[in-house]
Chain A
């Protein structure tokens, strides 16, 4: 019997070893950004700066699905840093206190009444056509390989057009066609494509918020209008209010702090 027990211990040690070590490098980091085209990266970086901040940002996001059967807005208080975010639901009442934590490609969901946070897949949708990645900051400069396409005009503004392919698994979308205004440097429109090249979402962005970066006041994203072009044809509108650039401490994104 002692041998049997020892055998069981060894079997389980092997199981956990496979889980941590063999199947993936536990301590590996993502590949560093490719910096072969400086000017393209500069344009993307400027557009990213109007949609987030790598050091940290907090904002309030309201999500409305323009659908006659659903007229209630979801409201989240979001703290985001790079890819990671903590979103806490403020409304509707049934969702108040629900929390979503995205850290390093892991996602946990907690709601009052649950004994503990549960791990969930990044496949889970936030609401309507919006993915959780839509309420986080963008980092297209580092996450995507850009191909230059011919310039186009959007809303009477001449735009750079880039076709972006994800370089990292952390990116929310596999491929994006992205229009950036030449006069303002702001991303105005994006089309999202699957790996196989099928277009599934279109988003239009407006920038009526302003934030202070150093000595400068610069425009900041205020609305993302997302149209699902494949399934529902519903339009989801994300309204972003009260953006605040700030340093966000590590504990905000610690899973032990999720319940309280």
Chain B
């Protein structure tokens, strides 16, 4: 722990002038840089009574301290665009539950989370390959229209979603229309529970007057096809109606097909706050006892799904700019098929142009034996500081 504190203080003292010098040297001829350093602590309470994490079999930590260096480099000149996002993290972990009870560990890791090489063949045609966190859609809870990955990273913006490998051919023939061919060639750093299979997708986008939609037709190697869709419509200056979903051409079981749908509305108030409601329906979701959902007990739930149950609701209040320095997100997610709920709060305070304090808290409630949200963690709290240059 002392080692981490020492390294953090060293970074605080040395980073400012060093990064300013790097910026001055780097920002020329289309090269741009952004340096981000996060130092945060995490306190969590693993649920040890639940059937999926009995005696903390998932080995969840109780405390963590982390230092993360996240520089971004981009180069754009004429027909070429290159970017790379190397990451270095130093992590101290402590366990107070399960097999590792009383143990601590310090580790560090260097990796490339994202990189991209894109070439402009004409000003209507682009080809790219790289490791990307490729996301779309307007929803907060989950991205059911994305055939590659459903985690949209909105539960904790301080944690990055791992990049997957994609090749893309994008055609932008018109102001309103564009189309992309996308192939997902590798899972990269992301570890899916199921075996990785290549996926191919055709995505067509339309942006009309105060409305937009995208259709995504995808095919999984040695699997079936899936049609995804997301859309938004500004009913007025303040009200956005949106929807997102997908349907596959194969049934999961005799009485269930693979279909996910999400409907939402967000209302922007004049003073700044935005209120959002979402309902998510997962046709293949599980309504029975929680433990029966999993394959090791004969269930059919896909453990790569973000949410296992059938019906969920979300209500969120957020404001990103109070007094030009404070922002918050308050999100309540209710699982309608069991009694569990999740309350997420994100608070950010900008001390000045470079330093920001942040808090991300998640509290789960319900019956640990049968309820989804409380089956792994009772709560977790992130508290930290972010430096940006």
> Could you tell me which A residues sit within 8 Å of B by CB distance?
1-2, 5, 8-9, 12, 15-16, 19-20, 23-24, 26-30, 70, 72, 92-94, 96-97, 103-106, 112-116, 118-124, 127, 169-170, 249-251, 253-257, 259-260
Q: Are B207 and A9 neighbours in the complex by a CB distance under 8 Å?
A: no
A-B contact pairs, 27 of them (CB 8 A): A1-B254, A1-B256, A19-B243, A20-B211, A26-B206, A26-B211, A27-B208, A92-B354, A94-B350, A97-B32, A97-B34, A105-B210, A106-B207, A106-B210, A106-B212, A112-B72, A114-B153, A115-B161, A116-B143, A121-B237, A121-B268, A124-B272, A250-B172, A250-B173, A251-B120, A251-B126, A254-B178
Given contacts A5-B256, A97-B34, A251-B172, contact A116 B136 (CB under 8 A): yes
Q: How far is the CA of A170 from the CA of B133 in the complex (A)?
A: 33
Q: Are B153 and A115 neighbours in the complex by a CB distance under 8 Å?
A: yes
Q: With a CB–CB cut-off of 8 A, which chain A residues contact B256?
A: 1, 5
Q: Are B243 and A15 neighbours in the complex by a CB distance under 8 Å?
A: yes
- A109 to B, closest residue via Cβ: B320
In the complex, chain B residues 147-162 whose Cβ is within 8 Å of any chain A Cβ = 152-154, 157, 160-161
Q: How far is the CB of A28 from chain B (nearest CB, A)?
A: 7
Q: How far is the CA of A114 from the CA of B161 in the complex (A)?
A: 9
Q: With a CB–CB cut-off of 8 A, which chain B residues contact A8?
A: 259, 261, 281, 283
Q: Are B83 and A12 neighbours in the complex by a CB distance under 8 Å?
A: no
Q: Are B233 and A23 neighbours in the complex by a CB distance under 8 Å?
A: yes
Assess whether B232 is interfacial by the CB under 8 Å rule.
yes
Q: Are B238 and A121 neighbours in the complex by a CB distance under 8 Å?
A: yes
Q: Are A24 and B138 neighbours in the complex by a CB distance under 8 Å?
A: no
In the complex, chain B residues 120-151 whose Cβ is within 8 Å of any chain A Cβ = 120, 123-124, 126, 132-133, 135-138, 143
Q: Using an 8 Å CB-CB cutoff, how does the interface string of B312-348 with A read, 1 for contact, 0 for none?
A: 0000000000001000000000000000000000000
Q: Are B388 and A256 neighbours in the complex by a CB distance under 8 Å?
A: no
Residue of A72, A114, A256 with most partner-chain B CB within 10 A: A256
Q: Are A70 and B324 neighbours in the complex by a CB distance under 8 Å?
A: yes
Q: With a CB–CB cut-off of 8 A, which chain A residues contact B51?
A: none
Q: With a CB–CB cut-off of 8 A, which chain B residues contact A114?
A: 153, 157
Q: Are B124 and A93 neighbours in the complex by a CB distance under 8 Å?
A: no
Q: Are B388 and A94 neighbours in the complex by a CB distance under 8 Å?
A: yes
Q: A2-B255, A112-B34 are in contact. List 16 more A-B contacts (CB 8 A).
A: A15-B261, A15-B263, A19-B241, A24-B211, A28-B208, A28-B209, A70-B324, A94-B356, A106-B207, A113-B36, A119-B138, A123-B269, A124-B268, A250-B173, A259-B135, A260-B74
Q: Are B232 and A119 neighbours in the complex by a CB distance under 8 Å?
A: yes
Q: Are B116 and A20 neighbours in the complex by a CB distance under 8 Å?
A: no
Q: Are A105 and B209 neighbours in the complex by a CB distance under 8 Å?
A: yes
Q: How far is the CA of A149 from the CA of B159 in the complex (A)?
A: 58
Q: With a CB–CB cut-off of 8 A, which chain B residues contact A127?
A: 324
Q: How far is the CA of A125 from the CA of B220 in the complex (A)?
A: 43
Q: Are B257 and A5 neighbours in the complex by a CB distance under 8 Å?
A: yes
Given contacts A20-B231, A123-B238, contact A260 B210 (CB under 8 A): no
Q: How far is the CB of B351 from chain A (nearest CB, A)?
A: 10
Q: Are A16 and B353 neighbours in the complex by a CB distance under 8 Å?
A: no
Q: Are A93 and B388 neighbours in the complex by a CB distance under 8 Å?
A: yes
- B231 to A, closest residue via Cβ: A19
Q: Are A116 and B152 neighbours in the complex by a CB distance under 8 Å?
A: yes
Q: How large is the interface on B (under 10, 10 to 19, 20 to 34, 35 or more residues)?
A: 35 or more
Q: Are A120 and B268 neighbours in the complex by a CB distance under 8 Å?
A: yes
Q: Are A1 and B255 neighbours in the complex by a CB distance under 8 Å?
A: yes
Q: Using an 8 Å CB-CB cutoff, how does the interface string of B157-174 with A read, 1 for contact, 0 for none?
A: 100110000000010111
Q: How far is the CB of A29 from chain B (nearest CB, A)?
A: 8
**What DSSP secondary structure best describes chain A's contact surface?**
loop
Q: Are B172 and A72 neighbours in the complex by a CB distance under 8 Å?
A: no
- B206 to A, closest residue via Cβ: A26
Q: How far is the CA of A122 from the CA of B237 in the complex (A)?
A: 6
Q: Are A253 and B209 neighbours in the complex by a CB distance under 8 Å?
A: no
Q: Are B268 and A123 neighbours in the complex by a CB distance under 8 Å?
A: yes
Q: Are A104 and B176 neighbours in the complex by a CB distance under 8 Å?
A: yes
Q: With a CB–CB cut-off of 8 A, which chain A residues contact B210?
A: 24, 104-106, 169
Q: With a CB–CB cut-off of 8 A, which chain A residues contact B31?
A: none
Q: With a CB–CB cut-off of 8 A, which chain A residues contact B209?
A: 28-30, 104-105, 170
Assess whether B389 is interfacial by the CB under 8 Å rule.
yes
Q: How far is the CA of A239 from the CA of B126 in the complex (A)?
A: 34
Q: Choose from A93, A170, A249, A255 the contact partner of B205 (Cβ within 8 Å).
A: A255
Q: How far is the CB of B318 from chain A (nearest CB, A)?
A: 10
Q: Are A5 and B283 neighbours in the complex by a CB distance under 8 Å?
A: yes
Q: With a CB–CB cut-off of 8 A, which chain B residues contact A106?
A: 207, 210-212, 232, 234
Q: How far is the CB of A90 from chain B (nearest CB, A)?
A: 9
Assess whether B247 is interfacial by the CB under 8 Å rule.
yes
Assess whether B270 is interfacial by the CB under 8 Å rule.
yes
Q: Using an 8 Å CB-CB cutoff, how does the interface string of B167-200 with A read, 1 for contact, 0 for none?
A: 0001011111010100000000000000000000
Q: How far is the CB of A8 from chain B (nearest CB, A)?
A: 6
In the complex, chain B residues 346-380 whose Cβ is within 8 Å of any chain A Cβ = 350, 353-354, 356
Q: With a CB–CB cut-off of 8 A, which chain A residues contact B237?
A: 121-123
Q: With a CB–CB cut-off of 8 A, which chain B residues contact A124?
A: 268, 272
Q: Using an 8 Å CB-CB cutoff, how does the interface string of B218-254 with A read, 1 for contact, 0 for none?
A: 0000000000010111110110111101010000001
Q: Which 4 A-B pairs have the closest CB atoms?
A: A121-B268, A116-B135, A1-B255, A115-B153
Assess whether B274 is interfacial by the CB under 8 Å rule.
yes
- B35 to A, closest residue via Cβ: A93
Q: Are A94 and B353 neighbours in the complex by a CB distance under 8 Å?
A: yes
Q: Choose from A27, A251, A255 the contact partner of B212 (Cβ within 8 Å).
A: A255
Q: Are B157 and A12 neighbours in the complex by a CB distance under 8 Å?
A: no
Q: With a CB–CB cut-off of 8 A, which chain A residues contact B270?
A: 123
Q: With a CB–CB cut-off of 8 A, which chain A residues contact B34?
A: 96-97, 112
Q: Choose from B120, B206, B274 the contact partner of A121 (Cβ within 8 Å).
A: B274
Q: With a CB–CB cut-off of 8 A, which chain B residues contact A96?
A: 34, 388
